[in-house]
Every structure is written in structure tokens, then in C-alpha cells.
Amino acid sequence: MIIQKSNGSPLPAENTPHQVFRMVAKTMFGLEELLADELRECGAKDIELLVRAVSFTGDMKVLYRANYTCRTALAILKPFAEFEAADDQELYDNVYRIKWEKILDVDATFMIDSTTSGDVFTHSYYAALKTKDAIVDRFRRMFNHRPSIDTENADFKLNLHIEGTHVTLLLNSSGESLHKRGYRQAVGVAPINEVLAAGMIKLSGWKCDCNFFDPMCGSGTLLIEAAMMANNIPAQYYRQERFAFKRWSDFNIAEWKNVKETEDRKIGSTDFDYEIWGNDIDLDVLRQAEMNLKYAKLHKDVLLYHGSFEDQDPPEGKTIIVTNPPYGERIKVSDLNDLYTRLGDTFKNRYGENCQVWLITSDFEAMKHIGLHPSKKIQLFNGSLDCRLLKFELYSGSKKNKVADQ
Ligand SMILES: C[S@@+](CC[C@H](N)C(=O)[O-])C[C@H]1O[C@@H](n2cnc3c(N)ncnc32)[C@H](O)[C@@H]1O
């Protein structure tokens, strides 16, 4: 990760187009290996798995492609300064020495995300404040004018990462989190994060080689992510090119256009010939799913059904079911247990061995009411909620009953 190790003046983040440098892609817990595979596809090298992140090397083209195509990335960060700081003053002094005027525009806005560990910098907010002070003091001294802070929608997002006395500063090349794909026109009560949805689909092993069904689809996130995969639509196709790297002084428009055009040419190039459909009991939320699908021009690729899952015809043909049932934050415990019992009964009694079910939940009590034994349990987090993605293989005949009775 080291770009320059110095107590002097760290270099700004300028790169010639084919210069190779280290980057860090952020993701969610449990999706690191999937992200590493996606980064490899983008041409990344020297890949190392971290917790909730992947480190790798590549040039600007890799950075642009990773931003545009990786479905399981939340942000692509570029480290640009690294130093030791034993206390607040040393942190301030080292940050002050950085040639910020070559990185940030004086008229732009910025924000700092910080994480600290160890017993030197115990408050990440305070460390971010010191860093911010050093940056604005340098601008004030040089220009009598300073960039402003914007915690919502900053032009430049910095990451401050401190482990013990080791400080790394990274520039966020994505800007707004990459889970904000741009296709959401409306959201249900508990929409799943788009990166988590894409990760769940990839973890299910769905390779666009059979049907895909979400029996409790809400505003349609899993369906849209699946349809984007089936049509080879880049993860950020609907984002309207809102990326922080476009404001960087070394932004290479020709290289970016080349990456975008190359990826866009692949759209629709698959021979996907299966069905993707969803179902929900709530008509309002289904209307939102429809609105999102229409915006993404995927409404002809995905069918929506209204009603309770147990009233729907069981899938025909090989089908992967990936779903995100209610977790119980807005629903009574007894109702939730009953819902999971009915869900399990529907899978057991009505669905055949052509179906494989993947279900995410944070409600470990309700989970037991499904009455099927999961053949796989993967830990994931939905925000701060500790969740399990459960895999259920369905069997016909005696095996089905035997497993169901466990
Ligand atoms: C956690 S939300 C799903 C959110 C969805 N993944 C999204 O991104 O918007 C759970 C959904 O289950 C639906 N639901 C609850 N009971 C149902 C039932 N019996 N049949 C079908 N859907 C049901 C709710 O209406 C809700 O939309």
C-alpha cells in the first residue's frame, strides 16, 4: 500500500495513464473473494484479501473499469500518503505538509471518512478533525481561502486510516458509494443494499444458466441485479457517470471513454434464455419494483406477480431462488415465526428438486421455523445486522421428508 513513506512531504495523487499503483476496493463482510474475482477480470494484479476490502495494483484503466463494472465493490480507494504519527500534533504536521493544492480544488468541497485502531488515536472523529484542520490551514495560508466541508455530497472524499501510529490517507475515486447504482426511482420499506444483493446472487452460484426467482421481491433489487447480470449491463451503467475520479487533475477522458464504450458494447451479448420473476404480497411495493425496472429498461426481462408466496405456482425448470424475507424489525415475533414456517412448508411441499433456495435473514429464531436443514450457512452483514445466507436444497420423495423432519 506504500506510495511514499516519509516524514517529509508526501507526493500528490498524480499518475500518468499507464503507471501502476496500489488501490484498495471496499466491500461488505463475506464478499471479499467475489470482489477479488471481479477485480481480476478488470486486470488487477497483486490481489490481497483484507477484511471488508481487497488490495490490488493496476493503472488508471483498471481503476476506471473497477469503478464501472465491479458489482460487489462499495468504493475504489487510492492511497496517496503514508506516514507515522505518535500523537495529534504529529498527525497535524504531516498532513499539513502534503501538497493538498495539487489534489483538491480550493473551490471544491471535501469530507473525511476515518477509521482508527490501537491505543494512540482512540477517537476516529477527532483524528479526522485534526486532519481537516491541517488541510484547511494549509489552504488558508497559501490562498487565504479554503475548500469547504460537505458531509453529504462532497466533490472529494478522503479516507483516513490509522492503525496504531501508522497513518494512511486514501482518495476515494468513486465518490458516492457504488451501491447507489442509479436505477432506484422508488424504494420499499426495507430495500436490500445493491452490493449485498449482487453478492448474494454471486454466492448462490447463479451463472445466468437457469431461471431466477425472488418470492418476496419488495422493490425488486435482487431481480434488477440478476437482470443486469443476465444482460451483461455494467454495475454503474445507470449512474450517469457520477464518479469522483472525473474531478481529479489527472483524469484521462479518452481512457475513461474507452473503458465505458468497451464495457457498454458487451450489453445484450449473452444468450440468456431463462426467466427472471418476482412476487410480493404488497401491491405498493410491487409498483415501486415496476418503476425501478422501467427506469432500467428491464421491465420486459422481469415479470412481477402479486400475492402471497404460497399462492403462486411453483417454478418449472431449474430455478435458483434468492430472497430476503422480512427480518422482524417491523413485524411481531409470532407473525414472523409463522411466516418462516409457511415459507418452509411451501418449499417442502410444493417446490421440487429443480429449485435451490438461498435466503438471507438476521432473525436466528425465526430461521429455525423454516423446518429445513440448510446445506450451507454464510455470514454476511446487512448494515450492522449480523445475517446468515442459508442454502436449502429441495428433494422430492422420502429424502425431502427426512431432511424436513430434522
Ligand atoms: C425485506 S423486504 C424485501 C426487500 C427487497 N429485497 C428489496 O430490495 O426491496 C420483505 C418483503 O417481503 C414481503 N412479504 C411479506 N410477507 C409476504 C408473503 N406472505 N408473500 C409475499 N411477500 C411477502 C414484504 O411485502 C416485503 O416487500
> pLDDT tens digits for 368-390?
999 999 999 999 999 899 999 99
Distance CA 270, CA 2 (A): 40
Instruction: Check pLDDT > 70 for residue 204.
Output: yes
Q: Which helix (H) or strand (E) element contains residue 236?
A: none
pLDDT, tens digit (0-9, with 9 covering 90-100), for 303-333:
999 999 999 999 999 999 999 999 766 666 6
Quick one: average pLDDT of 287-307?
96
Q: Give SS3 for 74.
A: coil
- Helix 333-350 to helix 397-404 angle (10° resolution) is 160
Q: Could you tell me what percentage of the chain is helix, strand and coil, using 3-state DSSP and rounding each to the nearest 5?
A: 35, 25, 45
The whole-model pTM stands at 0.91
CB 280 within 8 A of CB 219: no
Ligand 1 first shell, C-beta below 6 A: 188, 190-192, 216-219, 221-222, 279-282, 285, 308-309, 324-326, 339
Q: 299 C-alpha vs ligand 1 centroid, how far in Å?
A: 19
Which amino acid residue places its CA nearest to atom 13 of ligand 1?
216
The more confidently predicted of residues 302 and 406 is: 302
Q: 381 C-alpha vs ligand 1 centroid, how far in Å?
A: 18
Q: What is the pLDDT of residue 332?
A: 66
Distance CA 15, CA 153 (A): 25
Q: 15 C-alpha vs ligand 1 centroid, how far in Å?
A: 47
> Of 214, 281, 380, which is best to mutate to test ligand 1, by the most ligand atoms within 8 angstroms of its C-beta?
281
Rama region for 171: left / alpha / beta (φ>0; ψ in -120 to 50; rest): beta
Mean model confidence pLDDT for the chain: 91
List, in order of start, the domains of the chain with CATH numbers.
21-172 (3.30.2130.30), 194-233+273-404 (3.40.50.150)
Confidence of residue 8 (pLDDT cuts 50, 70, 90): very low
DSSP 50: E
Distance CA 95, CA 365 (A): 49
> Of 185, 214, 216, which is best to mutate to test ligand 1, by the most ligand atoms within 8 angstroms of its C-beta?
216
Instruction: Check pLDDT > 50 for residue 3.
Output: no
Which amino acid residue places its CA nearest to atom 7 of ligand 1?
191
Lowest mean pLDDT among 178-187, 193-202, 249-258: 178-187
**Cell numbers of 163, please?**
492503525
Q: 324 C-alpha vs ligand 1 centroid, how far in Å?
A: 7
Instruction: Check pLDDT > 60 for residue 174.
Output: yes
Quick one: average pLDDT of 198-220?
97
* CA distances from residue 299 to 215, 222, 272, 288, 320 in whole angstroms, order as listed: 17, 14, 16, 12, 20
Q: What is the pLDDT of residue 331?
A: 64
Q: What is the pLDDT of residue 333?
A: 66
pLDDT, tens digit (0-9, with 9 covering 90-100), for 101-127:
999 989 999 999 999 999 999 999 999
Which amino acid residue places its CA nearest to atom 3 of ligand 1?
218
Confidence of residue 152 (pLDDT cuts 50, 70, 90): confident
Ligand 1 atom with the smallest distance to the CA of 279 is 21
Strands across the sheet with 211-214, in order?
302-306, 276-280, 211-214, 319-323, 355-361, 385-393, 376-382
CA nearest to 187, candidates 237, 238, 232, 224: 224
CB 66 within 8 A of CB 49: no
Q: 290 C-alpha vs ligand 1 centroid, how far in Å?
A: 14
Q: What is the pLDDT of residue 334?
A: 72
Q: What is the pLDDT of residue 168?
A: 97
H helix runs in 10-162, sequence order:
32-41, 60-69, 88-97, 124-143
pLDDT, tens digit (0-9, with 9 covering 90-100), for 14-59:
566 689 999 999 999 999 999 999 999 999 999 999 999 999 999 9
Distance CA 12, CA 224 (A): 39
Q: 218 C-alpha vs ligand 1 centroid, how far in Å?
A: 5
Q: What is the pLDDT of residue 190?
A: 79
Of 61-75, 103-117, 148-162, 237-251, highest mean pLDDT: 61-75
Confidence of residue 406 (pLDDT cuts 50, 70, 90): very low
Ligand 1 atom with the smallest distance to the CA of 308 is 20
Distance CA 161, CA 114 (A): 6
Give 262: exposed, middle or buried? Use CB within 10 Å, 0-12, 13-18, 19+.
middle
Supply φ then ψ for residue 347, to 5 degrees. Answer: -60, -45
Q: 331 C-alpha vs ligand 1 centroid, how far in Å?
A: 12
Instruction: Check pLDDT > 90 for residue 217.
Output: yes
**Cell numbers of 392, please?**
436449502
Q: What is the pLDDT of residue 400?
A: 47
> Of 193, 280, 305, 339, which is best to mutate to test ligand 1, by the most ligand atoms within 8 angstroms of its C-beta?
280
Which amino acid residue places its CA nearest to atom 1 of ligand 1?
326
CA nearest to 372, candidates 356, 385, 354: 356
Q: 293 C-alpha vs ligand 1 centroid, how far in Å?
A: 17
Q: 359 C-alpha vs ligand 1 centroid, how far in Å?
A: 12
Quick one: average pLDDT of 277-293?
96
Which amino acid residue places its CA nearest to atom 5 of ligand 1?
218
Q: What is the pLDDT of residue 91?
A: 98
CA nearest to 59, candidates 10, 15, 3: 15
